[in-house]
Amino acid sequence: MSHLNGPDYAMLGGYFIIMLGVGLYFYRHMRGMKDYFTGANRIPWWLSGVSFYMTSFSVAAFVFYPSLCYRHGWVGVTLLWVAVPATLFSAGLFAARWRRARIDSPVEYLETRYGPVLRQLFAWQGVPVKIVDDGIKLYATGKFISICAGIPINYSILGAGSVMLLYTFMGGLWAVSVTDFVQFVVLAAGLLIVLPLSISRAGGISNILNNSPDGFFNLTSPEFGWSYVIPLVLLYSLAWSSINWSLIQRYYCVPTERDARKVGALVVALYIIGPPMMFFPAIAARQFIPTLADAGDIYPTLCAQLLPAGMLGLALAAMFSATMSTLSSDYNVCASVLTNDVYRRLIRPNASQRELVTVGRAMTLFIGVIGLGAAFMMARGKAEDLFRIMVTLFGIATAPVAIPMLFGLLTRKMTNTGAILGFLAGIGVGLGLFFLSRINRDVAFMGLAWHPKASELTIGGFAIKMEIVMFLGTALVTFTVMALASRLKPMDAADRGRVEAFMKRLEAPIGTLEEDPSAWAQTGTIMSPFRVVGFCIAAIGLLMLGVLPWVKDPMAFWLDASLGLALVAVGLAGIRRGPRAVPPGRPTEKELAG
C-alpha cells in the first residue's frame, strides 16, 4: 500500500532528473575508450572511494541486514562489518598492483600474465553471471519500489532500470562515479533523518539498551557465529580483490597507486561508520514495532511510520540508490570487458577510439537490456528460481577465478597450465557440492552428514553452512592443484620472459613508464568533479528545502531544514572550489585534485 504523495513523487522525480543530467553532461566528453571505461585515470581518490562504497552493496542492505538486526540484534551490523578487514586486505595487497597493471578492463592483464585462453575464459565466465545477478537485483529494486510507492512492478523496473542504463550509457565511468557520490549524499541525508527519529520514537538510547532482549548487542548470534563470520571475511577478501570487477575498477581509474590506497582507506572508514548508522533504526524499532509479519519489511515500515511527506520520497531514493550504484557500475565494467577483451582483442584490433566508445555504448545497452529482460521475466513469476540457480552455479567459480587472478599479481611461480587446471578442479569440486546441496533428505557418508533443512554440512560433528563449505572447498582444491601443476610443469623460456616483463611492470611506479600517450591525447576538456558534484549536492539540498511546507513534525522539520541548508552550502562551496575545466593532455597532480 502506497504512503507516498505529491511531495514524495516530486523528490523522486528531482532525484532521477539529477541522475540523468549528470549522464547528459559527460556524454560529450567521452572521446576515447579510456575516458569511457577508466575515466582516463583522472578520477580523484575521494570520488572513486565513495563510488567503491556505494557499489559494494545493493538494496539487500535495506532488506536482509535490517531484518537480522530486527530479529537478532547487532549481528546484522557484524555481517556487514566483514567489509572492513576485506577492504584492508584488498587495498593493502592489491590496490597499487591493480593501478600499476595499467589496464582498461579487469581481465586484460591475464593474457600477458598467463595466456589468451585464461583471459577469454574468465571474461566469458564473468559477464553472464553479472548480467543475470543484475537482473535479480533490478527485480528486487522494482519490487521494493512497487511496494513502497504503489507503482506496478513492471513500471518500477522499467523506470529504475532505464534511468540507470541511460546515465551509464551516456557518461561512462565519470557519470557512474559522480552519480554514486550524489546517491551517497542522498543515502547519508536519509539516514541522518531516520536515525534520530527512530531513537526518539523508541524512548532514547538508554531505553533501547535496557529493554532489548538478552544478547541483542552481541557481535554474533547462535545462527551466525564466528565459524560463519571468519570464512565470510575470507570470501569477501578474495572477491573484493579479484572477481568483483566494479570494485577493482575503482583502484585502476585513479591517477596513482597512492590514490588507489587512499580509495581503500576511505572505504574502510565509511564501512566502520556506515553499518551502525544504517541498521540501528531496525534495532530501535523493536521498542515500538514489537511484531512484524515479515522482518524484511522493517525499513519500509519504519519510514512509513516516522517520515512526513517529501521525506519519505527521500528515504525511498536513499534505499534503492545503493542498487542503482551497483547496477550502473556493473553495466560499465562488463561493457569494458566485452569491448576491450572481446571486440578489440578478437574482432577489431585496430579500431579507432571513437569506434571503441561507440561499441562500448552499444555493449552497455546490450547488457542493460538483457538485465531488464531477466527482471521482467522474474516479475511475471517466471524463471526466478532458474536465475537464482544460475547465479549459485556461477558463484561456485568465486575461488577458482579469484585465486589465479590474485596469485598472478603476487608471484612469478604460478603458470598458465596450473591456473587452468586449478580453475577446472575447483569448478569440479564446486559442482559436486552444489548437486549435494540439491538433495532434499539427510545424507551421511564417511563422517560427513548433509542436513538440507538447515543447509549445513556436518564434518566430524562440526556444522558448517553449505555456502561456506563451497567456498572453502573450492579455494583449497584450486590452490592445491594450481601450485602442484605449476611445480610439476614449469614455464618455458618464452613464458618466463613474458611473465618477468609483466612483473617488472607491476613494480614500476606510475609515471616511470610511457602510459599510452595516445589515450591521454584523446581526452577532451572535462569539468572539475568539485563543480559537477557541487551542483548536484546543492540541487539535493534545494529539493529537501522544497518539501518543508509539508513537514509538520517539529523534529523532522528542523532535521530536514538543517540538512537542506547544509547541503546547499556544501554544494555552493564545491562549485566555487573547482576550476571550470581540466585541459586536455596528461593531467598534473594539481589539476587532478582540483
Q: What is the reported pLDDT for 168? A: 94
Mean predicted confidence (pLDDT) in 234-262: 94
b/e for 185-221, b at 16 or more Cβ within 10 A? bbbbbbbbbbbebbbebbeeeeebeeebeeebeeebb
Contact yes or no for 50/254 (Cβ under 8 A): no
Tens digit of pLDDT for each residue in 417-448?
999 999 999 999 999 988 888 888 877 777 77
Lowest mean pLDDT, pick from 18-27, 59-68, 358-367: 59-68
Mean predicted confidence (pLDDT) in 219-236: 90
Q: What is the reported pLDDT for 388? A: 59
pLDDT band for position 584 (50/70/90)?
Answer: very low
Lowest mean pLDDT, pick from 144-153, 219-228, 277-286: 144-153
Mean predicted confidence (pLDDT) in 321-340: 92
Which comes out higher in pLDDT, residue 454 or 194?
194
Q: Look at residue 553 and tell me whether its pLDDT is greater than 80.
A: yes
CA 525 to chain centre: 29
Q: What is the reported pLDDT for 529? A: 84
Mean predicted confidence (pLDDT) in 114-121: 95
Q: What is the reported pLDDT for 517? A: 52
CA 187 to chain centre: 15
This prediction has a pTM of 0.91
% of the chain beyond a pLDDT of 90:
58
Q: What is the reported pLDDT for 385? A: 62
Q: What is the reported pLDDT for 383? A: 54
Q: What is the reported pLDDT for 591? A: 42
CA distances, 320 to each of 15, 192, 299 (Å): 12, 16, 12
Amino acid, single-letter form, for residue 370: I
Backbone angles phi, psi at 465, to 5 degrees: -60, 140
Q: In this structure, which CATH number among 3.30.420.40, 1.20.1730.10, 2.60.40.10, 1.10.3720.10 belongs to the domain 6-396? A: 1.20.1730.10
Q: What are the boundaries of each domain within the chain? A: 6-396, 399-511
Q: What is the reported pLDDT for 578? A: 64
